[in-house]
Chain A
Amino acid sequence: MKQKIAHILDSSVCITKRQLKEYVAGTMTIEECHAVEHHVNGCAFCSDAIDGAFMHTPEEMLAVASNFNGNFLKAHFSLNNPDIHLNSMGPSTGKKSRKVTGHLKPFWLKTSLAAALVIGMVIFLFLQTGKGAGLLNLKRVSAGKETPNNAAKQVSAPVIGSGATIASK
């Protein structure tokens, strides 16, 4: 008995929409009905809500309670935040467009840079091979009108000459 008396001052969470409807409709089990009434004894909010529900016929109350949902809130919030319409094809005004940070280079620039690098490598390899080296020598000859041996002599000549001039002195 003491244990039961101790529960007199207990409070619990408010009744749910389902409980309200079932309580008014009289389709609740005795245990749950007792639990609901236990809460109602100490809660003016639920007590008044049940009073209000009983002021109408159960059919009327159930019809209104079933139609009373959060759709009006959804409509209100979607008006304030149009960007939540994921399927909308219209421009979004609620959210700012993402800022582009950094400089994006166009695709052709990267491609041309890569092509230039490849061409440069091919030329370098070509010049390293025998044909390339020969071509390079021909170019040198045609530019100076001298053979590579003459060029070597020309380079060494001033040294000899300078040595001779020293010796003659």
Chain B
Amino acid sequence: MLKRVGHPVDEKGAAVAIKDAAFPVPFAPGLEFNSPVHGNWNIVHTGMLMPEARQIYVCADNCMRGVVLTAAEMNAADRFSFVIVKEENLLNGNLEDITIEGVTDVLNKLEEKPKAVLLFTVCLHHFLGCDLERVFQELEERFPEITFIRCYMDPIMQKHGPTPDQKLRKAIYEPLPKRKADEKAVSFLGSDFELGKNADLKRIVRAHQGSFRELPGCKNWEDYLALSEGKLFVSSYPPSKYGAEVLSKRLKRPYLYLPGSFDYEEITAQLENFCQAMGYGKLEETISVEEEIAACERALEKAHEVIGDTAVAIDYLYHPRPLGLAKLLLTHGFRVTRIYLDSISPEEKEEFGWLKEHAPEIQLIATIQVKMRVLPRKSDEKILAIGQKAAWFTGSPYFVNMVQGGGLYGFDGIRRTAELMVEAFTEEKDTEDLVVRKGWGCESCI
């Protein structure tokens, strides 16, 4: 039985026309709602990318339940263990001991030791001033054959510093050793997904007989260690930037941040930088920008022929640049009516200004604001949703099912988006079955 609760509410405070929106936070902070859309990756999913490693968490029951069942749902419970923190551990001040002895106990019970342990400590360790140096030193002495990686599940810190997600994307590269650079290799860091085989960067590297290395493609520990051999480090997913910069400094290797973009000029500039850094010469010697753009235009035109004047809703989970995508679609005749987001990336300040001027009535709609629990989630007209959150909030079965930019990049990413839009428009999906699954792209046993 479906029920609506509470008093009738209006959208005020949860939705705003972009012409009236503040940058970078259009909505007042307050209590937070969490929608039933779970395709985004969390620290468990990302940690599982590390081959031959085991994750061990040390925290209280409630925090633990979310991560242990994440592992179970992705059929990876056999790579996950934990130590429960009890009230007496807080009162007795023996968090160091319980962490050391608990992790030791888990590792002693394993028939085969992992190459690495991602050891996650939590807010409680931080607040109690737990001596993590002592914890790790002791564990490293007890298990010298295992690499212990310092990971954090401390969301209480995330509004004033790096998020646990950002810190993890730094930590998982900390074991990489200093190795001689392979002049043919590029190491692509910090993404949860392998780039599509036709992604611009991969095509360019392939054209120069180079190798493209990325964590999601690593099958074993040696593959992982070889990530340190890239002549150039590259990342494109915004939360990866912090960790990739740190790694670049530590291994003294050049690094380029080439964020996924929907702007032809920005993509071109990124690819030129990349070619220069790799010593490939001018970009035009490898691919024709003119032809790339023409192919994008054809893909967008074809999509528009199919989708026409149908309302389009975009969410921030589909891609870190939702405003850039909106601008691209609007300039190609699509009717973008709403964008679901809670804040605007500093990387999109220019697009925000452009949309204010050229599409002032576009609605920015929050996803965590309290009213979003009870506002209507259906529409009388057909809506093409780009992203899982847009699908749930609009109640649309016509949606592009992808998160965090998937493996899209560059001109190819634009073309793939256009193709996915056509597919989504023509093929109805089971929204409830798809969006509630954790970690899009991971195995899901629910």
Q: Say if A and B assemble together.
A: no
**Chain B contact residues, CB within 8 Å of chain A:** none
**Chain A contact residues, CB within 8 Å of chain B:** none
